[in-house]
Amino acid sequence: PDQPSSLAQLLSPNISGGILSKALTGTLGLRPEQLFFSLARISPEVVRSALANSGLFGEYLLGHQFALRMDIKQLLRSLLRSDSLHKSDEISLDSAIDEIESRQLEGLHAQQNREVSYHFVMPFLDAEPIEIHFERGQRSASKGEDDWVINLHTNSADLGEVWSKTTIKSSSELEMIFWATSESSSEMARQGKAQLETALTDFGLKLTKFSVLNAPRPVIDPALTGPGQVVDVST
């Protein structure tokens, strides 16, 4: 959240409804709903498809001789080969591809450390895109399974800017912190707590902590949060 996502900006419905949709239905012969989703019909399967379509796994599939499916990264590369692009469009596409490849490197580095990091953007036809980051720390024999952390971020005309951090423990207990710049969005989140608890129970999860803050999510330099660091709490 400390740096706007080039990919999220490019996949906004205001943009994707133009250049990207034309490419899908024109040269690529695809339907927009094959790579873009509907927030009104969100489900675990839809999120799984968005991760598969994110562009994070293309090189892995090629290297292991699996069938390669069209994904966001391939779509952007196909667009770059178009002769009708304006210079500003080329810069936006290049920046979005660079962002995907940066996330691929992050994921590879995490894998080498026996961690997990999947950072991608989920595009919608009926809403602003959502940045999603699944991460899990290194497993160890002493502490067992590490917590899963899911970070979400979006910025829409209806909700304003919204962040959430969800921590899922090996005991299936779940903690969530929700930040929103809009007071109405904060209140909506508070009112939805009971419904959220019910939905999580259906998946065998128990919500043990739920905090809602009417404020932007604070940005903390990762270099300051490691072992041996201190936090200045003076006011």
Distance of CA 165 to the CA centre of its chain: 12
Q: Based on the number of CB atoms within 10 Å of its own CB, is 144 exposed (0-12), middle (13-18) or buried (19 or more)?
A: exposed
Per-residue confidence (pLDDT) for residue 26, from 0 to 100? 59
Per-residue confidence (pLDDT) for residue 235, from 0 to 100? 41
Per-residue confidence (pLDDT) for residue 226, from 0 to 100? 46
| Cα 174 to Cα 184: distance, rounded to the nearest angstrom | 24
pLDDT in single tens digits along all 235 residues of the chain: 456 788 998 888 876 555 666 666 555 566 666 678 888 899 999 999 999 999 999 888 888 777 767 788 888 888 887 776 678 878 888 999 999 999 999 999 999 998 999 999 999 888 899 999 999 988 766 666 789 999 999 998 889 999 999 999 988 999 999 999 999 999 999 999 999 999 999 999 999 999 999 999 988 665 554 444 455 554 4
Count other Cβ atoms within 10 Å, centred on residue 159: 17
Give start and end residues of each alpha helix (H) in the chain.
Answer: 6-10, 13-15, 21-25, 44-52, 58-63, 72-80, 87-112, 183-191, 193-202
Tokens linked to 1: 């959240």
